[in-house]
Amino acid sequence: MMMGRGGRWRAGFVLILSALLLGGCWGYNEVNDLAFITVAALDRNPAGRYLWTVAIPVPELVLPASVGGGGAGGPGMSRNTLFRSAPGQTPRMAAESLDRSVPREVRWSFTDHILIGEPAARSGLRPLLEMISRSYRVERKASLYVVRGEAGSLLEALQPALDRSLARSFDALGRKNRPGTIRVVDGNTVLRWLDTPGIDPFLPVVATGRTRDTINPVPAGLALFARDRLVGFLPPPLDEGLIMARGEAHPFTLAVPCPEAAGGGGSVQGAAGPEASGPATGGLGGAGGGAGGGTRGGAGGEAQGVPVQPVVSLRIDRNEARIQVEQAVPPPRVAVEVKLAGTLLEWQCPGGRVDEARAMAVGRAVARQAQRQVRAALEQAAALGADPAGLGTALYRQDPAAWRALEAGWRRELQQLRPAVRVKFHLRSYDLTVSAP
């Protein structure tokens, strides 16, 4: 029996209506039945057992009441995060122990930040990297940090401002458009460095910064590794020197003395100084002359009656670097070439007038200060037997045969290596005025 045209339309309408009315959900989980780990801390005790401490946002305190939560806390509630800890023989076993202790389904895949205590880092990152790369419970893109001391204690002490979550507080550390940010390193980057000849990993160090009634994570230098084991630290401002040597510096503010205060500003070309292992050029033209070292981040207050020295502050917003192998055969010779560019922000110098000669002197001062920071960072890393700048990688890529001859004793060779450091600074703008147009 043939169905007429009207019958077909009616049958189609019934099918569509059935699909709309009979649809449903299956395999879902209520958010109140899940535990989302956002920040985790890994420690290791003297007996060799690992301890996970995790931060779990409580949905009942985070979600607004209109969607089933309790709002951002009620009277007497100041926290919206639950902290739990569990030990184990390995990081994976400690994670499974924590899963059993939490009466909800634990989701490690939401972990964006992992803090590593100093004892755990000194014993080696391999156990943690094994958990990240093999089980995939924690994504490889999770950012890694080192804590001087116990990571779990630092995590539990944090009380972010503006009712922010702990994860958002760590997210803010790596944003390039904010002052005081750091070079974030994730697990996948560490794995790649460990598989690359001639380079050692480094991780940012975080500490607690207290402001009135809030405690936030703040940068505290860099942790240096020899392969996967922590060997030492680079404190500020040497950490910025290493990042500049790698060409990865976030925009930052740099302050240098006025040209007159340091005896500069006269000549366009000159030497970088007797301590230099390579030329430093700045301003709008040639090399070194005049102004000496300054301080990063602006002028400080008076100390013991000493008047504040007038300074010039600049915004460094571009950084490039290249490692050049000048001689591959032992003993090798390498050069680190750094390029910086920025703009002049503040001019506190007497007279207030900014001309080309004085701007060039300031540029040379910036180049010399950056040169000293880079050189000091490389020397301290080499003294620790670490190569976070990748000097060995540059040698390996240019002459694999020479690298194979040096690879076994590279850390000993590294301590004797004195790479030339050449810094060029380009001042893009110096037209400052405090007068009406």
pLDDT tens-digit map of 269-293: 223 433 444 455 554 433 333 333 3
User: Which residues touch 258 (CB under 8 Å, ≥6 apart)?
Assistant: 291, 309, 310, 311, 312, 348, 349, 350
CA distance 432 to 355: 10
Q: Are strands 143-147 and 113-117 parallel, antiparallel or unpaired?
A: parallel
Region 348-375: mean pLDDT is: 87
Residue 347 confidence (pLDDT) above 60: yes
Record the pTM: 0.80
Cross-strand bridge partners of residue 59: none
Residue (of 133, 144, 136, 140) closest to 41 by Cα position = 144
User: Which residues touch 75 (CB under 8 Å, ≥6 apart)?
Assistant: none
Q: Write down the pLDDT at residue 169.
A: 84
Q: Write down the pLDDT at residue 386.
A: 96
CATH number of the domain located at residue range(s) 246-429 in this protein:
3.30.300.210
Q: Write down the pLDDT at residue 372.
A: 95
Mean pLDDT of the chain: 80
Burial zone of 134 (CB within 10 Å; 0-12 exposed, 13-18 middle, 19+ buried): exposed
Q: Write down the pLDDT at residue 434.
A: 57
Look at 123-137, 157-171, 237-251, 394-408 and tell me which has the smallest mean pLDDT. Answer: 157-171
State the pLDDT confidence band at 66, using cuts at 50, 70 and 90: very low
Concatenate the DSSP letters of all residues of 120-168 into one string.
Answer: HHHH-SHHHHHIIIII-SS-TT-EEEEESS-HHHHHHH-B-GGG--HHH
CA distance 114 to 39: 6
| Residue 365, both tokens | 């001062």
| Highest-pLDDT range among 48-62, 200-214, 259-273, 345-359 | 200-214
- Of 299 and 36, the structure prediction assigns the larger pLDDT to 36
Residue 167 confidence (pLDDT) above 60: yes
- Secondary structure (3-state) at 72: coil
Q: Are 375 and 421 spatial neighbours (Cβ–Cβ below 8 Å)?
A: yes
Q: What share of the chain has pLDDT > 90, as a percent? A: 45
CA distance 282 to 279: 10
Residue type, 385: G
Sheet of 280-281, strands arranged across: 280-281, 420-429, 333-347, 311-327, 252-257, 295-296
Q: Write down the pLDDT at residue 348.
A: 82
Residue 334 confidence (pLDDT) above 50: yes
Q: Write down the pLDDT at residue 179.
A: 66
Q: Write down the pLDDT at residue 350.
A: 79
Segment 36-60, tens digit of pLDDT: 888 999 999 999 999 999 988 776 6
Segment 132-159, tens digit of pLDDT: 888 767 888 999 999 999 999 999 888 7
State the pLDDT confidence band at 307, using cuts at 50, 70 and 90: low
Ranges for all domains in the chain classified under CATH 3.30.300.210: 246-429
Rounded to 10 deg, the angle between the 238-246 and 356-383 helix axes is 100
**Within the chain, how many helices (H) and strands (E) appear?**
14, 16
Q: Write down the pLDDT at residue 9.
A: 77
Residue type, 126: R
| Highest-pLDDT range among 113-127, 202-216, 334-348 | 113-127
| Highest-pLDDT range among 80-84, 279-283, 316-320, 351-355 | 316-320
- Count CB atoms within 10 A of the CB of residue 415: 12
Angle at 116 between CA 110 and CA 121, to 5 degrees: 140
CA distance 339 to 190: 26
What Rg, from alpha-carbon coordinates, does the chain have?
A: 28
Residue owning tokens 């339309």: 9
State the pLDDT confidence band at 210, using cuts at 50, 70 and 90: confident
Residue 295 to residues 46, 176, 239, 427: CA-CA distances in angstroms? 40, 21, 14, 18
User: Which residues touch 170 (CB under 8 Å, ≥6 apart)?
Assistant: 39, 112, 113, 143, 145, 206, 217
Q: Write down the pLDDT at residue 271.
A: 31
